[in-house]
Amino acid sequence: MRHDRPMDFEPYRGELVVFCYRMLGSFHEAEDLVQETLLRAWKARDRYDPARASVRTWLYRIATNACLTALEGRGRRPLPCGLGMPSDDPGAPLVPAPDVPWLEPFPDARFDIEVRADLRLAWVAAVQVLPARQRAVLVLREVLAFTAAEVAEQLGTTVAAVNSALQRARAALAGVGDMGAVTEPDDPEVRSIIERYMQAFEAADVPALVQLLAEDAVLEMPPVPLWYRGSRDYGRFLERVFAMRGPGWGMRALTSNGQPALAAYAPQPGGKRLLHTLQVFTVTGGRITHNVVFADPRVFDGFGLPREIPAHHVRRERRARFLPIMCAGSDESGR
């Protein structure tokens, strides 16, 4: 059926990027697939039938099919803790594994995110384990609240098949943990904890950092497949970092995946600080329970942070926390 009224797809771009990110675990791939989705929709606009589906539902069908095609023959996007046992050697070589398609962080500030819990790194990493069609059913039904009939239409299957896939997906994710126990980044207690972490990190004060950690806190550093569990080993690794880099780090606060995050700038000769890592925190029960430290410069492009900051900006920016900042680039993958 020909649709004669002008069709504007741009209002749906942001939510489609979030959907594709949940499906793929890669922000950059999600942006590319949404661009492809909107292009397909534009080319097919004369065949859109408003009697069968809303524009939004129609776009999600196109986006879902694009994601399923992109996922054919692919492995999941993991975090290091999903690949092996933790290390107890703080001096272990920091060798990146560029052949692993690592899970990427999501730049919250670029989009209006209503459902934060289903963007948590732990949740997105867990979803990556599901078969692609189960993943699609879970996100479309549980997160986006499409009906079983709508999802069946989007996937070209039956309502019974959708309900069965949803049941299997729920069972597979039963051990992910209570996302409701994770505190929001704008919670006053969380802001206080992250502020204290920033101050201690800038001063290279390992004992102060360890005091903020849960006893079984996890530290991992994609693209390095190495990870640590426990505040003791977390602290020992930080001692190594500061022995190599010294004090005088610069930190800027933002959010990623609905979680508090910090951009860390390593001190350089002459006083400048170069963008070094993006650290995404999980805070539960008044303690930091998880820190995913992204060190691959390619993941920084979506956040729009400056590549370097002068020394005098570090303290001046102390009052401006959790701003909608965007980032680009890093100096190196070493720590």
Query: Of all residues in the chain, what percent carry a pLDDT higher than 90?
Result: 67
**Best CA proximity match to 207, nearest among 232, 240, 243, 241:** 232
pLDDT at residue 317 in the model: 42
198-233 residue pLDDT tens: 999 999 999 999 999 999 999 999 999 999 999 999
Mean pLDDT for 304-314 is 76
pLDDT at residue 178 in the model: 56
pLDDT at residue 221 in the model: 95
**Residue linked to tokens 């963007």:** 119
Cβ–Cβ < 8 Å for 202, 273: no
Residue 177 dihedral angles phi and psi, to the nearest 5°: 110, 170
Amino acid occupying residue 197: Y
Domain 181-319 coded CATH 3.10.450.50: yes
- pTM (two decimals): 0.87
pLDDT at residue 293 in the model: 97
Query: What's the pLDDT band for 25 if we cut at 50, 70, 90?
Result: very high
Mean pLDDT for 267-279 is 91
> Cβ–Cβ contacts within 10 Å for residue 213, how many?
22
Helix (H) or strand (E) holding 18: helix 13-24
Per domain, the residue ranges of the chain are: 10-179, 181-319
pLDDT at residue 298 in the model: 84
